[in-house]
Amino acid sequence: MITRDASAFLAFAQGCAPDFGAVTAKAAFLVAPDGFARAEQSAGDNRYMAQAATFDAQQASQQHRALQAALSTVLPVICFAGDPATPDALFPNNVFATVPGSLVVGRMRHPVRQGEATRGDIRAFFGDVMGYAEIDLSRQPHPCELTGALVIDRARGLGFCGLSERCDEAGARLMQQAFGLRAMLLFDLAPGEYHTNVVLAVLAGRTALLCPAGFADPAVVDAIASLYAPHAIHLSPREHAAFAGNAIALSSTVAWMSAAAASSLSPGTRQALATAGWEVRGVALDAIEAGGGSLRCCVGEIF
User: What pLDDT shows up at residue 88?
Assistant: 84
Is 2-302 in CATH node 3.20.20.10?
A: no
Q: What is the pTM of this model?
A: 0.93
Residues of the chain with pLDDT under 50: none
Q: Which pLDDT score is estimated for 162?
A: 98
Listed as own residue / partner, the contacts of 47-53 with beta carbons closer than 8 Å and 24 or more positions apart are 47/192, 47/194, 47/292, 48/194, 48/198, 48/243, 48/289, 48/292, 48/293, 49/290, 49/291, 49/292, 50/289, 50/290, 50/291, 50/292
User: What's the confidence (pLDDT) of residue 292?
Assistant: 84
**Cis previous bond, 230, omega within 30:** yes
The pLDDT of residue 35 is 78
Q: What is the pLDDT of residue 42?
A: 62
Residue 222: strand, helix, or coil: helix
Query: Domain residues of the chain, as ranges?
Result: 2-302
